[in-house]
Amino acid sequence: MIGDRPLALVLVEMILLVLVGPLVTGTIQKMKARLQCRQGAGVFQPYRDLAKLFRKGTVQADTTSGFFWSIPVLVLAATVAAGALVPVIRAGPPAFPLGDAVMLLGLLALARFLTAVGALDAGGAFGGMGASREMTIAPLVEPVLMMVVFSTAVAAGTTELGALAAHRGTSWFLAWRAADFLGFAAMLVLLPAETGRIPVDNPDTHLELTMLHEGMLLEHSGPGFGCMALASHTRQIVTLSLVSALFFPIGPAGGAAGLLLGAGAFAVKILVLATFLALVESSYAKLRLFRVPQYLGVGFVCALTALALRIL
Amino acid sequence: MESGPGVIAACYGAGALLSLLLARWSGRLALVVSHLAAAAGAAAGLALSLGLLLGEPGRTLIRPLPNFFPFAKLSLLIDGLSAYFLLVVSVVAVAAAIYGPAYLRAHSPDAGSTRQAAQGFALNVFLGCMAFLCCAGDALTFLFCWEGMTLASYVLVVSDDRDGENARAGLLYMVMAHGGTALLLVAFLALTERAGAFDFAALRAAAAGLDGPTRTTLFFLALGGFATKAGVVPLHVWLPRAHPAAPSHVSALMSGVMLKVAIYGLLRFTFDLLAPVAGPLPFSWGWTVLFVGTTSAVLGVLYALQQHDLKRLLAFHSVENIGIILIGVGLAMILWRQSTGGALATVALTAALLHTVNHAAFKGLLFLGAGSVLSRTHLRNIEELGGLARRMPWTAGLFLLGAVAISALPPLNGFVSEWLTFQALLGGATRFHGPAGLVIVFSAAMLALTGGLAAACFAKAFGVTFLGRPRTSQAEHATEAPPSMIAGMLWLGALCVALGVAPGYAMRLLDAPTAALLHGPGASAVVTARGPLVLSTALTPSGTNGTAISMTMVAALLIALSAIALLLRRGVRRAPQRVAPTWTCGMTPTARFDYTATAFAKPLRLVFAALYHPRREVTRETAGTPYVVGRIHYAGEIVDLAETHIYHRVEREISALSQLIRARSTGRIYGYIGFVLAALFVALLLLGVAY
């Protein structure tokens, strides 16, 4: 299926995602702070942190191999490339085929794999602990995510995200069926796991008992850490965009007005999902690691039921 | 091209004979010459198969063989499918032959010339048998090559003689392989007896007259035989023992190629010989294959995760990947000749065949990488390794490449074939509504689980082996492997990249085998619609919708983004760079702070405890008072469910039976002759009643 989303628009959307990513993190942090009756840092704090990191020097562990230096580069590249695969402000497949939902999940998995490999390089127990836990949760999240994608792909006959979004059309809210509700519920269960937030992971702590993702970043410093942090922000917004592309896309709309409308709608959708994440983070405690599979099991059941409803 | 098979036979034959002859003077010379001959044979195989695959479509090469037997005409028949599997065999054989001599010299420097002669001889026989098995045009040649392949690989498994464990592994392999061969013999002889001849055309004609139940019985016999060789769960128990025991380049061949030859046999027997003349295959065939494929994929990777022996871990991953291939094969069986699933069957078979060559490339690469580590450190337990990336950078880089490929991560080749499998599964699910569709989608979810677990496993395998600090002095003093070994790995690594970044070109190679097998459209007619750099499939029966991806574009995007990220990584200004010890909470950092493989896999061991039945034993030696612990000894193991639930049970039954017989076994020869006579009498009586 050849689409009409020019390559330039795809690249602009990708850059937009990278630029807005830290803002989403800042917004969630601000909302969390307000919910906890704190003033909190400004929503632009992640940008300041990034700017600081990219200006700092580095301290590298003496046991690391040559791979360690290039890990942040590859992780950032893979995550940003995943950002090129989600439709942001306009639905429809790109004019030249790039990748589909499976490719997007594959690129995110590549970034995760490389992060885990990098964590083992420094030879500290914290990195290994983080890598081990992350690589325990990831294989459990991936099949459920894949099933959620399939539950919408079965209806559209394609796994290309732009085409999936276009298939739903502009009046998606009238056409939602039980399968969509269940699929969306599964996605909401997965969202904290995929973005590394409570109740699966805690992004605010560096305490070895509670952390997953942050543990893997401990040995990175300076610009390398900046790259990893930017990749985390990008990963979060890419995941949120994936949810919106699958469940409430803005349909194809031409012209500058359509693009503006799409951008506005995108902002609203991301804000809604970010609010959800902030609310969940503020109202739940982190789960024990070995409770997480049960938690993800809820998502699995929802996704399987959604698929069954779609296929039967 | 006409002389192709002759050249291949001459090269392998010369290699085998020269190995025996030259060993009288120098074992080393015999080793080098036999491997060179093997490389030449593999190159000839490569040329022949590429010529057939890229030449005029539908071409079949038929060569009569000399008449060894008065009762059967032997021949070679090389069609698209044969050529494709000959390609798979030859691709890995080239790498193994380049890699072999240096590896054997480094791994066992004190080997006698007899052993070296045997290794060179067996390697050439092994490769020759695999090549000609794919080209066989009659059942007799097929079965002879099959047996030759088994025996030669057995010699290679036990040739690396370090302890009794190899001999036990070889024995188990021998028993299992011949159990499988027995099933195959029954399946083939049932057909040849009806046909009155051995060549495939006669068998096909004989199979056309079979009734349904007989056909299905023969299929399940053949499936049992081929699945034993392919290492499908629960027939896999020999594989993780025998494959690691062989020299590493032979492990690469056994895992990367020999299992695929079993897949070739299954495809040839099912689609070509046994399939009914018209209409879809019987219902039970495809679903069984899909089920065992899914089970093998998941269980294979789960058991791989808990292995700490590098080569054993890789062997379990072969079980997983054979499962992935069988998912595609099973789906193709289900969809073949269905009223609307014709093109989808081609997609499924394309996925399976592409994964066949992909797995050969990356598994070959990984085994060669493991071999480099083994030859330099003489250690296979990854808990004793570590820090090798700084000492063996080429091996480490290439192993990482293979790890990314086998974990089905873009932009390498493993992702491409898994993507195609996903597309075929999704298409199958839209094609079959109802429970069947749900089963197919569940299989897709299991495939996603498999990919995720493989990534976890290889993060562990690569990280613990190559990164961090060395844990033993052997690992600390390891040096890079010699150039010829790296060259062998580079060849397979380049294939992984090429098949990943430009898979559209591989579709061209898949045209002939898919068309030959399914008699439908070729692979490139249904998978690439827009040029060689784009993969696209049409999933819905009407073909209106579909999915297109471009691995080339994604790879280009990744490279461009990496270049930009590299600039960011350098930092915006020149800032001080410092190297410091890793923070270990104030204690002196040693290798004991590195996360071990056991610890890494522990969370998954607990999550999947129902499948592992993990057992652990911790003994504390206290010094005087219970509050001061002097030493802690930890032992842990997991069990293979198939082994405990099936094999041990069978073993117990057999032992119990033997105990019963023992009472009658007096040691007197008359008694035994009496038993034989009685058995003969009963057999004649039974057969007489049956006919």
User: B324 and B198 in one domain?
Assistant: no
Q: Which of B225, B249, B278 is the last residue of a domain?
A: B278
Q: Are residues B336 and B473 in the same domain?
A: yes
What is the token pair recorded at B349? 């078979």
For position B179, what pLDDT does the model report? 94
**CA-CA distance, B300 to B177, in Å (whole number)?**
19
The range of the structural domain enclosing residue B485 comes to 294-563
Contact list in B for residue A66 (CB cut-off 8 A) is 389-390, 393
Cross-chain residue pair B459–A128, CB shorter than 8 Å = no
How far apart CA A179 and CA B280 sit, in angstroms, is 32
**Which residues in B lie closer than 8 A to residue A112 (C-beta atoms)?**
455
Return the C-alpha torsion angle B512, B513, B514, B515, nearest 10: 50
User: pLDDT tens for residues A9-61?
Assistant: 899 999 999 999 999 999 999 999 999 999 999 999 999 999 999 999 999 88
| Residue B588: inside a domain | no
Residue B272 lies in a domain: yes
Burial B359-393 (b: 16+ CB within 10 A, else e): bbbbbbbbbbbbbbbbbbbebbebbbbbbbbbbbe
Q: Is B603 on the interface with A (CB under 8 A)?
A: yes
The conformation of residue B136, written as its DSSP 8-state character, comes to B
What's the rounded Cα separation, in Å, for the pair B127 and B102? 19
CB B258 within 8 A of CB B153: yes
- Which of B169, B160, B155, B168 minimizes the C-alpha distance to B126? B155
Interface membership of B392 toward A (CB under 8 Å): no
Secondary-structure percent of chain A, ordered helix, strand, coil, rounded to 5: 70, 0, 25
What is the domain extent for residue A35?
A: 7-311
pLDDT of amino acid B11:
95
Average pLDDT over residues B591-606: 90
Percent of chain A whose predicted confidence (pLDDT) is above 70: 94
Residues 296-315 of B with CB under 8 A from A: none
pLDDT in tens, B463-509: 999 998 999 999 999 999 999 999 999 999 999 999 999 988 888 89
CB B60 within 8 A of CB B70: no
Mutate to test the interface with A, among B347, B400, B554 (most CBs of A within 10 A): B554
Lowest mean pLDDT among B113-122, B145-154, B661-670: B661-670
pLDDT confidence band for B283 (50 / 70 / 90): confident
Please name the residue of chain B whose CA is at the shortest distance from the CA of residue A11: B557
pLDDT of residue A251: 60
Residue A219 has pLDDT above 50, yes or no: yes
With beta carbons under 8 A apart, name residues in chain B contacting A81.
554, 557-558, 561
pLDDT of residue B538: 65
Closest partner CB to B545 (pick from A64, A139, A156): A156
* B448 contacts A146? CB cut-off 8 A: yes
Q: Enter the ipTM.
A: 0.95
Between the alpha carbon of residue A173 and those of residues A177, A310, B51, the distances in Å are 9, 17, 56
Residues B341 and B481 in one domain: yes
Number of folded domains that form chain B: 4
Kindly indicate the confidence band of residue B162, based on its pLDDT and cuts at 50, 70 and 90. Answer: low
Q: B586 in contact with A at a CB cutoff of 8 Å?
A: no
In this complex, do B576 and A62 lie within 8 Å of one another by their Cβ atoms? no
Interface of B with A in 431-460 (CB under 8 A): 433-435, 437-438, 441-442, 444-446, 448-449, 451-453, 455-456, 458-460
Measured distance CA(B657)–CA(B674) in Å, rounded: 20
- Cβ–Cβ < 8 Å for B513, B353: yes
Identify which of A62, A78, A120 has the shortest CB distance to residue B558: A78
Q: What is the pLDDT of residues A236-287, one digit of tens each?
A: 999 999 999 898 887 656 677 888 888 888 999 999 999 999 999 999 988 8
- Report if residue A53 sits inside a domain: yes
**Is the Cβ of B47 closer than 8 Å to some Cβ of chain A?**
no
Residue B613 has pLDDT above 90, yes or no: no
Q: How confident is the prediction for chain A on average, in pLDDT?
A: 89
Is B436 within the bounds of a domain? yes
Question: For residues A169 and A115, what is the distance between their CA atoms, to the nearest angstrom?
Answer: 37
One domain, residues B149 and B180: yes
B452/A140 touch (CB, cutoff 8 Å), yes or no: yes
Average pLDDT, chain B: 90
pLDDT at residue B279, rounded to an integer: 83
> Would you call A120 and B577 a contact, using CB atoms and an 8 Å cutoff?
no
Which chain A positions have a beta carbon within 8 Å of B571's beta carbon?
A: 54-58, 222-223
> CA dist A167 to A13, A92, A296, Å?
20, 8, 28
Residues B9 and B96 grouped into a single domain: yes
CB-CB under 8 Å, B570 with A223: yes
Same domain? B47 vs B80? yes
Contact B502, B551 (CB under 8 A): yes
Distance CA B309, CA A57 (A): 40
Average of per-residue pLDDT across A167-172? 70
- Given a cut of 50, is residue B66 above it in pLDDT? yes
Question: 3-state DSSP call for residue B78?
Answer: strand
Q: Do A143 and B452 touch (CB under 8 A)?
A: yes
Residues of A in contact with B480 (CB under 8 A): none
B463/A54 touch (CB, cutoff 8 Å), yes or no: no
Give residue B542's pLDDT.
47
Asked whether residue B577 is domain-assigned, the answer is: no
- CB of A21 within 8 A of CB of A241? no
A1 part of a folded domain: no
Shared-domain flag, residues B652 and B507:
no
Predicted confidence band at A181 (pLDDT cuts at 50, 70, 90)?
very high
B517 and B493 part of one domain: yes
Can you list the positions of beta strands (E) in A147-212? none
CB contact under 8 A, B469 and A127: no
**Cβ–Cβ below 8 Å for B545 and A100:** no
Domain stops at, among B243, B278, B313 = B278
From the list B550, B570, B600, which residue is nearest A96 (CB)?
A: B550
Establish if B499 belongs to a structural domain: yes
CA distance B88 to A275: 53
Note whether residue A2 is domain-resident. no
| B residues 516-545 lying closer than 8 A (beta carbon) to A | 530, 534, 536, 539-540, 544-545
The whole-number pLDDT of residue A1 equals 46
Residue B31 structure tokens: 């080793």
Q: What is the arithmetic mean of pLDDT over A297-310?
A: 92
A312 contacts B426? CB cut-off 8 A? no
**Residue B548, min C-alpha distance to chain A (Å):** 6
What are the φ and ψ backbone dihedral angles of B407, each rounded to 5 degrees? Answer: -80, 5
Q: Which residue type does A244 have?
A: S
Task: Take residue A170 and report the two structure tokens written for it.
Answer: 């502009």
Q: How far is CA B279 from CA B220, B276, B513, in A?
A: 19, 7, 20
Q: Which 3 state secondary structure label does DSSP give B341?
A: coil
Chain B nearest-CA residue for A116: B459
Contact B582, B589 (CB under 8 A): yes
Residues in chain A with CB shorter than 8 Å from the CB of B549 are 97-100, 103, 160
Q: Is residue A20 part of a domain?
A: yes
**For residue B381, what pLDDT is reported?**
92
Number of domains in chain A: 1
Q: Is B423 on the interface with A (CB under 8 A)?
A: yes
CA–CA gap between residue A191 and residue A210 (Å, rounded) = 18
pLDDT for B225: 96
For B308-360, the pLDDT digits (tens) are: 999 999 999 999 999 999 999 999 999 988 877 668 888 999 999 999 999 99
Contact B395/B375 with Cβ under 8 angstroms? no
How far apart CA B337 and CA B321 sit, in angstroms, is: 26
Tokens of A233: 């922000």
| Partner A, chain B 357-386, Cβ-Cβ below 8 Å | 386
Contact (CB<8Å) A55/B570: no
DSSP calls for B629-655? EEEEEEEEE---HHIIIIIHHHHHHHH
Domain membership flag for residue B153: yes
Chain B residues 545-574 with a CB less than 8 Å from chain A = 545-550, 553-554, 557-558, 561-562, 564-566, 568-573
d(CA B80, CA B264): 12
Nearest to B452 among A72, A133, A142 (CB): A142
pLDDT at residue B529 tops 80: no
Which residues touch A102 (CB under 8 Å, ≥6 apart)?
A146, A149, A159, B419, B422
What dihedral angle (degrees, nearest 10) is formed by the CA atoms of B522, B524, B528, B533? Answer: 170
Give the one of B396, B456, B467 whose C-beta lies nearest to A136's C-beta.
Answer: B456
Highest mean pLDDT pick, B48-57, B215-224, B605-614: B215-224
Shortest distance between the Cα of A35 and any Cα of chain B, in A, equals: 33
**Assigned domain for B574 exists:** no
Q: Which of B278, B312, B341 is the last residue of a domain?
A: B278
For residue B341, the distance in angstroms to the closest alpha carbon of chain A comes to 14
User: What local confidence, expressed as pLDDT, does residue B163 receive?
Assistant: 72
- Evaluate whether residue B587 is within a structural domain: no
Residue in chain B nearest A2 by alpha carbon? B548
- B681 CB burial (10 A radius; 0-12, 13-18, 19+): exposed
Query: Residue A159: closest CA among chain B residues belongs to which residue?
Result: B547
Task: Answer whether A147 sits within 8 Å of B441, measured CB to CB.
Answer: yes
Q: How many CB pairs under 8 A join A and B?
A: 305
Task: Encode pLDDT of B109-124 as tens digits.
Answer: 877 888 889 999 999 9
Q: What are the structure tokens assigned to B292, written together?
A: 């065992």
**Same domain? B513 vs B604:** no
Nearest CA among B449, B448, B369, B356 for reference residue B401: B369
Q: Are A107 and A88 in contact (CB under 8 A)?
A: no
**Across the interface, do B389 and A66 touch by the CB < 8 Å criterion?**
yes
Nearest to A135 among B455, B554, B578 (CB): B455
Q: Indicate the SS3 state at residue B381.
A: strand
Name the residue in chain B with its Cα closest to that of A131: B600
